[in-house]
């Protein structure tokens, strides 16, 4: 196979289904031109620099796959020949044994395990090669549809939604990438306040605080592409320098004003988990934690300094929340809970935006009639709707 130019990586950016358009927007913001969206993925050609930047900055993505080869095969003999011809050298060192994740559909070679075995056989067992010194093992993703196979290497390593802070978990936590998608699609401006009155483990508030602090999505974590033989440390350093500049430009709370992000929950254990998570994420000083029922929802305290030093804007903010759905977080009178949310939000946060993540759209009408669907997601095998509107002034 001809060696690929470093400036030309055909990629698939994988994301939670429903976030494709937001990922495409994020790629455009990095200067890339997305080609096509499919359910759970965006195809895009990336230069090496943009490939690195995508892994560092994309907030809504799960991983970035780089296509290594594509071929049509209908027999194992042909598959073995095609595997033998793949040039793995840009991505895999000589002593590395990757993992293979295979899925096939409508293909003569339908046995995923048998296909994976053929790939694995191309990598003679090397003692201790399963993982590198830090426990990382490269991932190769093989997908066969209608006998056409696409072979990709994973550039990301651990999923990109793992920002590294989650340990303490309350019930039914959202993925960090989903929280990022909720905020982006609601048009939340990180200089304005945000309240999550049913914060659970704090995912929405922590993602908001990380954004307001200018912390890139994959800060302080290992990326699979760092282990590639073709890894360019100079290019990475330049992308990391961009990230540092953004972080330096973000306003730092100086303690003189109250935080502009509120994470509240009636469950003290959930609030403790949220606080511990925020501390690990390095943003606890940007969030006010409250143990309170939704009936006590209030916006953040006004900043006596006018927010000049904290960078806080006075403008209306966003109430963004993921209430219990019944099935996932049980009990109580959900209609009443949703109605209370709508009533107190309208009373205490006039003119603010409101976003509610629900499984049941009828329940959302209790919050406010006329909320519009911004995202249709699939969470834990269930359909979920992110409904957004504006509270009257
Ligand atoms: C689905 S969970 C939120 C999960 C959260 N988004 C996360 O990522 O961890 C719903 C939360 O609503 C809280 N909750 C339920 N009823 C409440 C009420 N009346 N007032 C405040 N919080 C409530 C529960 O304690 C639970 O933590």
Ligand 1: which residue has its CA nearest to atom 1?
324
pLDDT for position 325: 87
Give me the residues of the chain with pLDDT under 70, please. Answer: 1-7, 125-135, 168-170, 254-258, 303-315, 327-332
In 3D, which of 311, 316, 277 has the Cα closest to residue 300? 316
Domain 9-154 adopts which CATH fold?
VC0802-like (3.30.2130)
8 Å CB contact between 281 and 320: no
d(CA 111, CA 113): 6
Q: 228: which 2 tokens?
A: 């590639």
What is this structure's pTM? 0.92
Q: Is the CB of 293 under 6 A from ligand 1?
A: yes
pLDDT digit string, tens, across residues 176-185: 999 999 999 9
Q: Does the beta carbon of 266 lie inside 6 Å of ligand 1?
A: yes
Q: Ligand 1, residue 196: give the atom nearest the CA.
A: 6
Q: Rounded distance, CA 57 to CA 184, Å?
A: 14
What is the rounded average pLDDT for all residues in the chain?
Answer: 90
Q: pLDDT for 296-333, tens place per residue?
A: 999 998 766 655 444 444 569 999 999 998 754 444 58
- Residues 181 and 58: beta-carbon distance below 8 Å: no
pLDDT of residue 326: 76
What are the tens digits of pLDDT across the range 343-364? 999 999 999 999 999 999 888 8
Q: Verify whether ligand 1 is closer than 6 Å to residue 367 (CB atom).
A: no
State pLDDT tens for residues 222-250.
999 999 999 999 999 999 999 999 989 88
Q: Which atom of ligand 1 is nearest to the CA of 293?
A: 20
Question: Which tokens sit at 83?
Answer: 């595997």
In the chain, where the domains are located: 9-154, 176-214+221-247+258-390
**What's the topology of domain 176-214+221-247+258-390?**
Rossmann fold (3.40.50)
- Whether the CB of 170 sits within 6 Å of ligand 1: yes
Question: What is the whole-number distance in angstroms between the Cα of residue 232 and the centre of ligand 1?
Answer: 44
């Amino acid at each position: 196979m001809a060696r690929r130019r470093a400036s030309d990586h055909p990629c698939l950016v994988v994301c939670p289904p429903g976030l494709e358009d937001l990922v495409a927007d994020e790629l455009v913001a990095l200067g890339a031109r997305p080609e096509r969206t499919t359910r759970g993925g965006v195809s895009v050609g990336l230069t090496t620099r943009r490939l690195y930047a995508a892994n560092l900055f994309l907030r809504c993505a799960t991983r970035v796959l780089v296509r290594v080869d594509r071929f049509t095969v209908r027999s194992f003999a042909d598959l073995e020949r095609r595997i033998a011809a793949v040039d793995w050298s840009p991505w895999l060192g000589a002593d590395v044994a990757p993992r293979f994740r295979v899925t096939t559909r409508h293909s003569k070679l339908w046995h995923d395990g048998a296909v994976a075995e053929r790939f694995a056989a191309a990598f003679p067992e090397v003692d201790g090669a399963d993982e590198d010194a830090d426990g990382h093992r490269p991932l190769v993703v093989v997908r066969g549809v209608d006998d056409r196979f696409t072979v990709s290497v994973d550039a990301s390593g651990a999923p990109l939604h793992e920002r590294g802070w989650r340990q303490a978990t309350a019930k039914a936590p959202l993925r960090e990438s989903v929280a990022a998608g909720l905020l982006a699609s609601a048009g939340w401006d990180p200089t304005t306040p945000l309240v999550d009155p049913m914060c659970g483990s704090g995912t929405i508030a922590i993602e908001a605080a990380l954004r307001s602090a200018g912390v890139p999505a994959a800060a302080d974590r290992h990326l699979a592409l760092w282990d590639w033989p073709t890894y360019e440390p100079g290019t990475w350093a330049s992308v990391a320098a961009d990230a540092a500049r953004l972080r330096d430009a973000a306003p730092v709370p100086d303690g003189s004003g109250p935080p502009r992000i509120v994470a509240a929950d009636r469950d003290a254990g959930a609030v403790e988990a949220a606080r511990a998570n925020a501390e690990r994420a390095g943003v606890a000083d940007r969030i006010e934690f409250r143990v309170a029922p939704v009936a006590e929802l209030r916006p953040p305290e006004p900043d006596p300094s006018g927010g000049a030093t904290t960078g806080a804007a006075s403008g209306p903010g966003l109430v963004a929340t993921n209430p219990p759905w019944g099935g996932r977080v049980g009990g109580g009178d959900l209609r009443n809970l949703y109605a209370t949310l709508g009533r107190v939000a309208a009373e205490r946060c006039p003119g603010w935006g409101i976003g509610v993540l629900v499984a049941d759209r009828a329940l959302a009408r209790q919050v406010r009639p006329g909320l519009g669907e911004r995202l249709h997601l699939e969470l834990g095998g269930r359909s979920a709707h992110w409904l957004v509107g504006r509270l009257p002034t």
